[in-house]
Amino acid sequence: MSKKYEKLAQDILKKVGGSENVSTLTHCMTRLRFALIDNHKADPNALKSFDGVIDAIESGGQFQVVIGTHVEDVYKEVIKHLESDTNLSEEPTATRKVSILGKLIDFVSGTFSPIVPGC
């Protein structure tokens, strides 16, 4: 595996409060989806400033870092630096209950996120 995204992954992990602040991590097509122990430890403005990060938002109880189409490569690098007790999954967790309002907010925030062209 290429080390192309290693620095970005380390920077992201640092700005979400470190590996000790990560409860679970998943990803979707364009986003890293963190469940953080303390969302106040995350620094979305610093995350947004990184080359390779499109946006950082808190939505539906998750802290999401919008990466783009290369999210899986960044995810693989992030998990290398997480503590072993962090719950990792490439599939979103199905056990989290979200209210109808929460689903609406997730939909709207996803709709207005920047469109990432394929490389």
Of the candidates 68, 24, 65, which has an alpha carbon nearest to the alpha carbon of residue 45?
Answer: 65
Strand-pair category, 22-27 with 55-59: unpaired
Residues in the chain: 119
Q: Is 119 designated active site?
A: no
Catalytic residue (choose from 28, 46, 54, 79):
28
Cβ(60)–Cβ(101) under 8 Å?
Answer: no
Active site residues: 28
